[in-house]
Chain A
Amino acid sequence: MSFDWATFALQLVNVLILLALLRHFLFRPVAAIIARRQAESAAAVEAATRARAEAEAAQAAARAEAEASATARQALLDKAQAEAAKARVDLLEQARAEAAQIIAEGRTALASEAAASARAQTRAACDLALAIVTRALSAQPDGLDGYAARLAQAITAMDPVERAALLAAPNLRIVLPHEPSDAERGTVSAALAPLGIDAPLVADPSLVAGIELQSDSGAVLNSLRHDIQTIAEALDDGRQTR
């Protein structure tokens, strides 16, 4: 067996050269790329950690903001409810005041209308009274003679049976609005004597004017009071009919 020292030396040099070559072309680049990837991974992890921290901070901020918003919302709700309650009370008070004012105005208007109505009624009553009196007075005869003649005419126009019953009834009397004088007695007797009537003369101021023949079975009404009553009833019936 031989050993070639030249080959040994050349191989030793070759291995050293190969060591330098592979160190330059293989191990350093590969180690560098591994280190770079590790650095990038570390940077990515750090960025992710930072992003996560930022996200957590943002989440916390959002949560705090949401809580603040909820608090502000509750405060606004409370304030709105308080304002609504106050507005409700104010509106109620205002409504009550307006209602009271309306009632007062209504009462005033009602009182005014009542007064006006009362005045109108009074005026109408006056007019009515004036009309009644005017009509009644226009239908009255002149003096006691006229009343006596109209009484005699009315008695004559009565049904004979009714007239006989009237005249035959007890307590037959001739009623005048005042105590008659002798002249007036004579006038009345002269007007009724032809009819066979001889009754005492009685004074009744409520007749106002006229002469009436009265007994317990009836009466022949011939007075201003009766005419006024008749006219008033007629007017009243006409007004109700309208």
Chain B
Amino acid sequence: MSPRLRRWLLHPRLSLAVRIALGLVFIAAALPKIGDPPGFAKAIWAYQLVPGKVLNPMALVLPWLELVCGLALCLGVWIRAALTWVALLLLAFSLALTLNLARNHPVDCGCFGGTTHRTDAERLTDMRWLLLRDVGLLLLAAQILLATHPRKN
């Protein structure tokens, strides 16, 4: 990578914009789920990956973790810690989508709360786009991580 491109990609202003955008995505994803934990539990159950005992605690804590990390990113506090969770969550979401795509099991994302009734083919197509979106968000997280000085945050 040329030093010029590198400097441009890791520019503090770009990093600030990316950080706020990523934070807002996580806040927007968290709020509807915090408002309706049973709906989110149902969405997680549809993925058929989580044991019944873990389902409810996960549906209760995960949206709050998204909100806390989203706020931290937007406010610029504890950025690296928030990014650790954001990256882990995005990896987990991608893995869940990949596993269900691999076994041809259509699921609604549940990412931003409520779901609409769609056909299985539409769901499978959406899942591919969602996977791409998660990879994009992971790249944003990587940008912030590389552009943020470890000692400061």
Do A and B make up one complex? no
Q: Which residues of chain B have a CB within 8 Å of any CB of chain A?
A: none
